[in-house]
Structure 1
Amino acid sequence: MADFVLPQLHRRAHWGGADDVRRRRGAPIHSERHVKIICIGAGASGLLFAYKLQRSFRNFDLTVYEKNEEVAGTWWENNPGCACDVPAHNYTWSFEPKLDWSAVYAGSGEIFNYFHHFAKKYSLRKYCKTHHQVIGATWNNTRGGYDVVVQHTATRETFSDYCDILINAGGILNAWRWPAIPGLDKYKGTLVHTANWDGNVDLTGKHVGLIGNGSSGIQVLPTIQPHVQKVTTFIREPTYVSPVQGLEQHVFTPQELHDFANRPGSLLQYRKQVETGLNGQFSLFLKGSSTQDDTRAYMIGQMKQKLNNKLLEDKLIPSWSLGCRRLTPGVGYLESLTKENVEVVYGGIKEITEKGCLCENDQEYPVDVLICATGFDTTFKPRFPLIGPSGSNLQDEWVNEPKSYFGLAAADFPNYLIFLGPNCPIGNGPVLSAIEVQADWMLAVIDRYQTSNIHSIAPKREAVDDFVAWKDEFMKSTVWADPCRSWYKANQADAPVTALWPGSTLHYIEALTEVRWDDLEVKYNSNRFTWLGNGFSQCESDPTADWAYYIREYDDQEYQSRGRRREILTRSGTITERAGAVNFTGNTELHANL
């Protein structure tokens, strides 16, 4: 497929301040000023933003600074056993399916290839500067944008750049961290982290220690277990581990792959079935719901069957509600715990010694290689000083509790937009759908900025406070408020839920359908109506346009009510039954009748 790029028509010099006012007065209504954008991170979100900006906009300059040597973010960085806990065919952009996923749950290599191909197909690499990391940004009130400090990760040289709009697409599962255990620097064996994997480490025949039973640890154990002499896995607390019914791991057969590629509608039908199931899971997270009770009972039964060990069952199956911590399919994990070369040590680690781990049972466990599957910094603070108009640093503002506007922006930090910020749906359903609607919301804001004489845009403080208050009240009815330690709550058992949206992913998509301008503080370079320009329309400035475009034979105008527009968009009335959809409590087999 050929690259889709809008022609760069009417390219102008950067408009700012008095220049913006002067040029707008002599130009047609809604004239597009040149806008300079910096995006931090070329992972999934950054690449999608570049694609959507390129597809719809002109007269812009975009630079995507990426600290790694490659694009795709976490899927470039992580360990060989890393996989996604979302079905692969639905871990794609809605408009960009992949025909040849090998299995329902794909590994990091396949996922990296998907995003790498996406960047290549649409020529997005021309915007990306790899080996470059943003280390600071300061609001420039005169120009109405940010002065950005960038460092080359190899040479350590720094330079300054400027942007009108700053996009943070750095991700949340990206800034990995060592465990906060004393003595880590004393260990004399081989020390590795799952999120910064050293491909030169050979585990064959080694005694390996594995710290952590979150998503990373659960993925690593079955990957390394067949190849090592022994694994001692250190588990501090229980967690639910099992594919949800109807979404078990499945390797696609040659016939299925053939049908996906050659039977029109086959893959689309499958993707819609899975997405419907993912979108149908939200009641699982509501306390006391039948979905919660039924699915929890099913999950516990599956764990007991796979463990078949009363001691492990007592230690590993939680008492709190299903979904309080992020669910993981854990393909092969529970079975690996029962293997002869796997030793499970339950409880905390007091300190790391030269040889291995000294645990709370006062026993030392020597290991040749120590793998830390201890997660990421999920505090949502920017990983660089971000200085706003008042001189305050967002890192300090969010040190105790990050408070955002719909996971998109922060009060008092204008022209700064965030992918997957605090309280967005990263555990509520299909996440890439949420990223797409976030990009669309951002571009609607940028469109308004580009076609008017706006100086700055930021959410109002009272809007953020009202949203946080609404969110906190809603969360009381969810399982996320249960007393489990979760990165949803800054890895605390009793803390505000700062990572998740107060509703389903479909709820989030509908909430972001329009920009609520009354929630935003908008400041202008001059009279707010300067965008009206010289009295001519954009239509009249285009000799190839139809100057009577509104004259027609029948009324095909978009409906004016939100309800009617939603019915058209969601094809209301076309689904009479949910046959084949995953309901997360039934026995629907997704892989039949493709």
Structure 2
Amino acid sequence: MSQHNPSQPAIVIIGTGFGGLGMAITLKQAGYNNLTILEKAEDVGGTWRDNTYPGAACDVQSHFYSFSFEPKHDWSRKFGLQQEILGYMHRCVERYQLGDHLRFNAEVASARFDDQSNLWTLTLASGEQLLADVVITATGQLNQPAWPKLEGLERFQGRMFHSARWDHDYDLTNKRVAVIGTGASAIQFVPEIAPEVKQLNLFQRSAAWVLPKPDRPFKAWEQTLFRKVPAWDRLYRYLIYWKNESRALAFTRFNGLLEVFANQARREVRKHVTDPEKLAHIIPDYQIGCKRILISNDWYPAINRPNVDLVTDPIKAIDEQGVLTRSGRHYPVDAIICGTGFRASEFLSPIEVIGRGGKTLNEAWQAGASAFKGMTVSGFPNLFMLYGPNTNLAHNSIVYMLESQFRYIRTCINALQKYPGAAMDVRQDRQDRFTRVIQQGLQHSVWSSGCTSWYLDENGHNSINWPGFTFTYRLSTRRVDTADYQFINPLHNNH
């Protein structure tokens, strides 16, 4: 086992989205080659592999939704489309020769830390077991589709699927379709399918704030410029970064600044939606920014279509033929598409994680998920999380946050090299102090202004968002401060 060769600890990465791939590349470049990357599906790509619904695209500019060390100069448009982003990820796998490290159809069922040996045992769904010195989870926040909790869902006789598991074999032409949910996925696929279907009933619990998307195809000369003048590519990235970053103030401190955007959204609605009944329901009643702000140029025109019915009457149940609302109205449909998002606050589910002394991560997180710098949890040594609690953003690119985490975790593994066989466990008081600061920062943020959103768990605890600038996060994760950790020797060395 790896104890005999401390310079090559056995490192297992779970997941092959941007987090897992970027982490693997970072470690390989630092000389760590004893890497295994486990993926439950048959291909890399994470959320960009799963979400193939019509119109799937990113709401962060392409040049900034990519690794700083691997620029792509020929993005077809300002905001990348799903296929193109997935293609970029495949290119990274080839370019950095990750193929030999990848294992597909390898879903992790549990991870257990052994105090005797300081090793993690990973048990796959197939029953196979792997040993690792270090485990890095890159399972993301958007990988477990959330199905609506509705009575009679299983009784429906027509076709039903979740937008994150799109049924491409089903032809929607001239069908009567119910769409449940009006979040980030729905605002992308509804405008794509609305012209094809006969009738679309859109069931909305609460409206979303939708701003115009400053998107357009890149011209050939622009792509050439990005390729020929790397400095321009860097500068362009830099400008996107600061433009996005400036919005952090509005979300976290000066919520009044968001009113400018709210007015812009209201103007857009009035420009495109002429039906007074729809107009009354499509403008949200909560403060802008409290839920994810969405961007689209075709959402409002789609809502205005005569074959699109906006239903705000709450759903009571689903039956064999369609949807029944609380007021007693029945909507017969051929297909139901759930655009109901993801179980974002269940970070590592459904993996069972067992740390020191047999304590599970679920027990550690009873009051809500929290982690030191969003990456380490006390009692779970040598376990590092990418895109863990409170590292999501409402204003900038998650890839930038991930790159900060890659560097920090790399410095942690470097620190472990000095203590062969040891495991590093974050001190509980450091984790508590960090969590307190985060939660105080979130108290005055717009996300605490009183709406229900996927940012909040059932206790109203925001375990998702980072309450500040991304550059402050980057500065605080430049390198590990080993005083935040205790280094534990394996018990079998201690006789």
Q: Which residue of 2 aligns with 1:524?
A: 489
Q: Which residue of 2 aligns with 1:88?
A: 62
How much does 1:287 deviate?
A: 4.9
Q: Which residue of 2 aligns with 1:14?
A: 2
Q: Equivalent of 1:318, from 284, 288, 293?
A: 284
Q: Which residue of 1 aligns with 2:105?
A: 131
The one-character-per-residue Cα deviations of 1:370-408 (angstroms, maximum 9, x if unpaired) are: 100111111234221111112111123324411211110
Hey, what's the Cα distance between the residues in 2 that align with 1:506 and 1:311? 44
Q: Which residue of 2 aligns with 1:329?
A: 295
Pairing of 1:235-274 with structure 2 (within 5 A): 235-243=204-212, 248-263=214-229, 265-274=231-240
Tell me, yes or no, if the aligned pair for 1:425 and 1:505 is still in contact at 8 Å. no
Tell me, yes or no, if the aligned pair for 1:460 and 1:521 is still in contact at 8 Å. yes
Q: Equivalent of 1:62, from 19, 35, 39?
A: 35
- Please tell me the residue identity of whatever aligns with 1:210: V
Tell me, yes or no, if the aligned pair for 2:374 and 2:391 is still in contact at 8 Å. yes
The one-character-per-residue Cα deviations of 1:30-70 (angstroms, maximum 9, x if unpaired) are: xx533001111111110011101111124x41111101110
Q: Which residue of 2 aligns with 1:71?
A: 44
Hey, what's the Cα distance between the residues in 2 that align with 1:288 and 1:403? 25
Q: Which residue of 1 aligns with 2:157?
A: 188
- Give the match's secondary structure for 1:420: coil
- Please tell me the residue identity of whatever aligns with 1:482: S
Relative distance call for 1:197 and 1:213 in structure 2 (3 A) is same
Q: TM-score, normalised by structure 1?
A: 0.79
- Give the match's secondary structure for 1:48: helix
Hey, what's the Cα distance between the residues in 1 that align with 2:276 and 2:483? 57
Tell me, yes or no, if the aligned pair for 1:33 and 1:451 is still in contact at 8 Å. no
Q: Which residue of 1 aligns with 2:18?
A: 44
Q: Which residue of 1 aligns with 2:321?
A: 355
Q: Which residue of 2 aligns with 1:431?
A: 398
How much does 1:235 deviate?
A: 0.6
The one-character-per-residue Cα deviations of 1:313-366 (angstroms, maximum 9, x if unpaired) are: 332222322211112112311110001221111132111111111112211111
Q: Equivalent of 2:351, from 384, 387, 396?
A: 384
Tell me, yes or no, if the aligned pair for 2:177 and 2:199 is still in contact at 8 Å. yes
How much does 1:454 deviate?
A: 5.2
How much does 1:80 deviate?
A: 2.8
Is 1:122 matched up with 2:87?
Answer: no
Pairing of 1:136-155 with structure 2 (within 5 A): 136-151=110-125
Relative distance call for 1:265 and 1:389 in structure 2 (3 A) is closer
Hey, what's the Cα distance between the residues in 1 that align with 2:176 and 2:120? 50
Is 1:342 matched up with 2:315?
Answer: no
How much does 1:469 deviate?
A: 1.6
- Give the match's secondary structure for 1:458: strand
Hey, what's the Cα distance between the residues in 2 that align with 1:100 and 1:520? 43
Q: Which residue of 1 aligns with 2:383?
A: 416
Query: More deviation in 263-272 or 348-357?
Result: 263-272
Q: Which residue of 2 aligns with 1:97?
A: 71
**Identity over aligned residues, as a percent?**
28
- Give the match's secondary structure for 2:194: helix
Q: Which residue of 2 aligns with 1:544?
A: none
Relative distance call for 1:521 and 1:85 in structure 2 (3 A) is same
Q: Equivalent of 1:207, from 163, 176, 201?
A: 176
Hey, what's the Cα distance between the residues in 2 that align with 1:375 and 1:264? 37
Hey, what's the Cα distance between the residues in 1 that align with 2:421 and 2:267? 58
Hey, what's the Cα distance between the residues in 1 that align with 2:407 and 2:35? 16
| Structural RMSD (CA) | 2.0
Hey, what's the Cα distance between the residues in 2 that align with 1:482 and 1:289? 10
The structure that has the greater radius of gyration is: 1
Q: Which residue of 2 aligns with 1:111?
A: 85
Relative distance call for 1:461 and 1:420 in structure 2 (3 A) is same
- Please tell me the residue identity of whatever aligns with 1:300: R
Tell me, yes or no, if the aligned pair for 2:140 and 2:347 is still in contact at 8 Å. no
Q: Which residue of 2 aligns with 1:447?
A: 414
Unaligned runs of 5+ in 1: 1-12, 21-31, 152-156, 529-594
How much does 1:472 deviate?
A: 1.7
Tell me, yes or no, if the aligned pair for 2:3 and 2:421 is still in contact at 8 Å. no
Tell me, yes or no, if the aligned pair for 1:409 and 1:416 is still in contact at 8 Å. yes
- Give the match's secondary structure for 2:58: coil
Query: More deviation in 501-510 or 267-276?
Result: 267-276
The one-character-per-residue Cα deviations of 1:555-580 (angstroms, maximum 9, x if unpaired) are: xxxxxxxxxxxxxxxxxxxxxxxxxx
Q: TM-score, normalised by structure 2?
A: 0.94
How much does 1:502 deviate?
A: 2.4
Query: More deviation in 295-304 or 127-136?
Result: 295-304
Hey, what's the Cα distance between the residues in 2 that align with 1:407 and 1:90? 22
Tell me, yes or no, if the aligned pair for 2:156 and 2:318 is still in contact at 8 Å. yes
How much does 1:221 deviate?
A: 0.3
Tell me, yes or no, if the aligned pair for 1:380 and 1:421 is still in contact at 8 Å. no
Relative distance call for 1:272 and 1:138 in structure 2 (3 A) is same
Q: Which residue of 2 aligns with 1:562?
A: none
Tell me, yes or no, if the aligned pair for 2:142 and 2:343 is still in contact at 8 Å. yes
Tell me, yes or no, if the aligned pair for 2:211 and 2:264 is still in contact at 8 Å. no
Tell me, yes or no, if the aligned pair for 2:255 and 2:445 is still in contact at 8 Å. no
Query: More deviation in 372-381 or 70-79?
Result: 372-381
Is 1:506 matched up with 2:471?
Answer: yes
Is 1:305 matched up with 2:293?
Answer: no
Is 1:484 matched up with 2:451?
Answer: yes
Is 1:397 matched up with 2:364?
Answer: yes
Hey, what's the Cα distance between the residues in 2 that align with 1:370 and 1:38? 39
Q: Equivalent of 1:228, from 197, 213, 223?
A: 197
Hey, what's the Cα distance between the residues in 2 that align with 1:323 and 1:221? 22
- Give the match's secondary structure for 2:74: coil
Hey, what's the Cα distance between the residues in 2 that align with 1:253 and 1:386? 49
